[in-house]
Chains A and B, each alone.
Chain A
């Protein structure tokens, strides 16, 4: 029977072209949506690689064109750290986790280039504040003051891209295309390797990362200082007010703002979710349209094939058999569309599109295949039941 159905569909391929096209496009859309959802879910379930809870972001502003002397900034840091409830403070660059500010570059080690890498300035207390998971080596320490090169801690994925399976600690790398005379501050010596981190959003993938030691630093050209503040559990608005008053107490010209990193994570999550939800809604509407289209076409097909249904009943088909035949035909048509869509979808992992691993693409192909078969079976079910209920004597008499 399967061969018969296949022959029938093949011989009607021109008539079925529209259906096959609809199924093909549905498959492609579902594949796209599934790939985004699976990648996002996979990322969401992966660890962040650091602890954002009980971490606040203190932004201290000196004001436009005003200097921020280091002595005063150190005083601010010291006084804030001394507040009850504050565990540690760490100075960093403006591209803190979960905010829309990214510093990235490409690094090079003995001609081998890294992928695009996020980099952060970090002082010796940064790791206490964010609690990264170090795999090798150590975090920055005052002993690094005497280093001839700039100490860096790198993430495991950056380590693999630059050094492969070889040792990384003590190795020195540079920015991409460093030229002949590389300044010592542009030569980065690895002192530690941390687990991969996801600092952009809950749904972003781990990105190769380098933390460059922020010392010695000249703050006189700074207008803003970004400080990570790790606080005790249960700390709230009262402590935030105290921090603001402390900053104002050092110098009245400076202003400050305290934000909770977890709130910024949730804020960023909403920004990331909006396009994903939008894509899902668009996909859903498209699928509903396609489903209605399929339903209509199948309904029409059955009304056009009433005589054939009557004939098959006369030849020995049962009502249920007719229903299954129509469902089977739809599955064969679906297979044509899915195979075409699958061929297109397979190009994504083969061409390493969007730098995503193969697994989400394969899962997306499987999910899209399952969904398309489910939708078409659902759409074919009612018309097939209708076909099964057609009285053969009536159908044969109509023509």
Chain B
């Protein structure tokens, strides 16, 4: 624990421009407890955290420390046992399933370690998936936005391919294009390079950093890779469900 704290680079990487800015995402006194008939497991304990607009934050910690749970809460995929989550200054804790789904669709993009592409859909159809849930968008606009997103990640030539025909790095690019297609304010990436070799991992990291720098997309990334974490503006460390730095 002491060692982890000693290596913390969070204050060094925080950009001055973000100091005092309104957080795009704020978690206050968050607790998440998984309860079965016999066991109660505290996944997150009194977490207080603010993610500022335009930040690139990495979350680190050993397996089982609550990183993915935290990301699920940030992504409004799960509800905290107690505490408040605010997105763009609005507490979402009491939002209905429909309202939460709408917020996810409009404001959040997800990138997963195992890509989570639908194997029976072509690359462009996969990228269109979040846009299917956007009301009033024509199929033509959906297709255009998907193609633009694929262009951004350098996969314009692979639109008609199926996930099974792509390399791991390409699949993750498709997943990033899918996350981008809806024009989200935040990208939540759960170990996006975890299944890739170092070269491809580096490519994906570069892509995320470019999106953050060039397009101002806020990125929150869970990672085990210290080197990649050091490239982000802030590192948040977790241990046993608690934020340690």
Seen from chain A, the residues whose Cβ lies within 8 Å of a Cβ on chain B are: 1, 3-4, 7-8, 11-12, 307-308, 310-321, 391-393, 396-397, 399
Contacts and interface: CB of A to CB of B under 8 A. Distances in A.
B77 A7 contact: no
14 contacts: A3-B139, A4-B128, A11-B121, A308-B116, A311-B112, A312-B133, A314-B104, A314-B110, A315-B132, A315-B133, A318-B98, A319-B97, A393-B77, A399-B116
Contacts of A392: 72, 77-78
Given A3-B139, A311-B118, 20 more contacts: A1-B132, A4-B125, A311-B110, A311-B116, A312-B133, A313-B101, A314-B75, A314-B108, A315-B182, A316-B101, A316-B105, A316-B106, A318-B98, A318-B101, A321-B101, A393-B72, A396-B72, A396-B116, A397-B72, A399-B116
A315 B77 contact: no
B134 interface: yes
Interface string B105-121: 11010101010101011
A312 B125 contact: no
A265 B176 CA distance: 76
Chain B interface residue count: which class? 20 to 34
A307 B116 CA distance: 7
A397 B68 contact: yes
Given A316-B101, A316-B130, A308 B77 contact: no
Interface in B175-224: 178, 182
Given A316-B105, A393-B77, A4 B132 contact: yes
Nearest to B113: A399
Nearest to A388: B97
B129 interface: yes
Which of the listed residues A3, A314, A391 has the most CB atoms from chain B within 10 Å of its own CB? A314
A316 B139 contact: no
A320 to B, nearest CB: 8
A320 B102 CA distance: 13
A7 B121 contact: yes
B145 to A, nearest CB: 14
Contact of A315 (B68, B78, B110, B121): B110
Given A391-B78, A392-B77, A396-B116, A316 B133 contact: yes
A398 to B, nearest CB: 10
